[in-house]
Amino acid sequence: MATINFGGVLENVVTREEFPVQKAQEVLKNETVAVIGYGVQGPGQALNLRDNGINVIVGQRKGTGSWKKALADGWEEGKTLFELEDACKKATVVLNLLSDAGQIQAWDGMKNHLTKGKALYFSHGFGVTFHEKTGIVPPKDIDVVLVAPKGSGTSLRSMYLKGQGLNSSYAVFQNATGKAEERVLALGIAIGSGYLFETTFQKEVYSDLTGERGILMGAIAGVFEAQYNVLRQRGHTPSEAFNETVEELTQSLMPLVAENGMDWMFANCSTTAQRGALDWKGKFREATEPVLNELYDSVLSGKEAEIVIEANNKPDYRAKLEEELNLMKHSELWQTGLEVRKLRPKK
């Protein structure tokens, strides 16, 4: 484990250099790893594990779209693809990658198969942290661990195929066998993480729910809409409003931030832009900090978890969600985006 100085704060980080895939293979050589759920994280983690030479099977409800996807990805019914509970029974390590709401419904059936010495793994601290709402309380004689890739399962897979790796956080909630730590690190590396940073189940879920509702998804989608609307109301064309709000950010400026930091992006913009952006940055920070605090409180109190669980329990939830996403897709802003993306020159 390397200790890294992050701007003056020391943290433990595990990289592929000190914990190579070969070591993960060695640690997991006698394990049967079952990936339960084949939605977004399921395929990314299962395929990376398979390509890394781990003994992996998939558990999924038969007849669903995800089951068909698993078949298309080369998992074979009765050999490497099973019903949920059959896979849990065969496994020594169970990766619970059902949707957070699905985990609640499937828990009673799954927990019977979590016998002494097995390991139960999550990619979110949700179920265990909010156990009063989810009912997910693991038996005491198993290991309970977490590896949470900090990005979509789709990226986990595509980055792995390019030889890169998404970063993931990891945590041990329960160490019944004395081997939970090496098991979780081996799993973290074998699912294709670039490096692993240490956390707890609680810290993971509080930061994750805040991040996705905040800047990663909710805030950025909201601020995009606000700026696009203002530009449109002030007489700008859709393409101008879109390019000045989204396209320039994703195509030019954020890649510069990703490459070398915010000051580097600023340094590569005009002095006119730098002056104005530095002056307005504080105003945006002050306007949004109270909203982000309100959000964090709502996460901490369990209200956000409750909203998600309740929404998912409605029978028409998927259809309603689909409708909301469709509304976004068909808005002028994102229809403009569709056309703008087509205009990007191809290699």
Ligand X SMILES: CC(=O)[C@](C)(O)C(=O)O
Ligand Y SMILES: NC(=O)C1=CN([C@@H]2O[C@H](COP(=O)(O)OP(=O)(O)OC[C@H]3O[C@@H](n4cnc5c(N)ncnc54)[C@H](O)[C@@H]3O)[C@@H](O)[C@H]2O)C=CC1
Active site residues: 124
Where is the binding site for Mg(2+), in residues? 208, 212, 244, 248
Q: In the range 285-314, which residues lie near ligand Y by CB under 6 A?
A: none
- Compute how many other C-beta atoms are within 10 angstroms of the C-beta atom of residue 8: 5
* Token pair for 20: 């190579």
For helices 41-51 and 153-161, what crossing angle results, to 10°?
Answer: 30
CB of 328 vs ligand Y, minimal distance in Å: 17
| Rounded Cα gap, residues 255 and 156, in angstroms | 18
Known binding site: residues?
208, 212, 244, 248, 270
Q: Which of positions 208-227 make contact with Mg ion (CB under 5 A)?
A: 208, 212
Q: Are 23 and 186 in contact (CB under 8 A)?
A: yes
> Which of 142, 190, 154, 140 has its CA nearest to residue 170?
190
Nearer to ligand X, 129 or 336 (CB): 129
Q: Does 153 bind ligand Y (CB under 6 A)?
A: yes
Stretch that binds Mg ion, among 40-48, 109-117, 203-211, 276-284 (CB under 5 A): 203-211
* Torsions phi, psi for 146 (to 5 deg): -140, 135
Q: Closest Cα partner for 88 from 66, 104, 69, 111? A: 111
**What tokens appear for 76 in the block?**
């074979």
Instruction: Name the nearest CA neighbour of 208 among 169, 241, 155.
Output: 169
* Binding piece for ligand X, criterion CB under 6 A, among 45-53, 180-188, 208-216, 266-274: 208-216
Residue 38 vs 122, nearer CB to Mg ion: 122
Q: Are 332 and 238 in contact (CB under 8 A)?
A: yes
221-260 footprint of ligand Y as x/- string (CB under 6 A):
----------------------------------------
* Residue 252 Cα distances to 187, 257, 267, angstroms: 35, 9, 13
CB of 122 to ligand X, least distance (A): 12
* 268 binds ligand Y per the rule CB under 6 A: no
The residue (of 106 and 142) whose beta carbon lies closer to ligand Y is 106
Residues between 136 and 165 with contacts to ligand X, criterion CB under 6 A: 150-152
Binding residues for substrate, by number, are 270
Question: Considering the rule CB under 6 A, would residue 124 count as an interface residue with ligand Y?
Answer: yes
| The only residue of 94, 97, 147, 180 in contact with ligand Y, by rule CB under 6 A | 97
Q: What is the token pair recorded at 314?
A: 């409605």
Q: Structure tokens of 141?
A: 């004689």
Indicate which single residue of 212, 263, 323, 339 sits in contact with ligand X (rule: CB under 6 A): 212
The β-bridge partners of 171 are 146
Site residues (vs ligand X, CB under 6 A): 150-152, 208, 212, 216
Site residues (vs ligand Y, CB under 6 A): 37-42, 60-61, 64, 66, 97-100, 102, 105-106, 123-124, 126, 148-149, 152-153
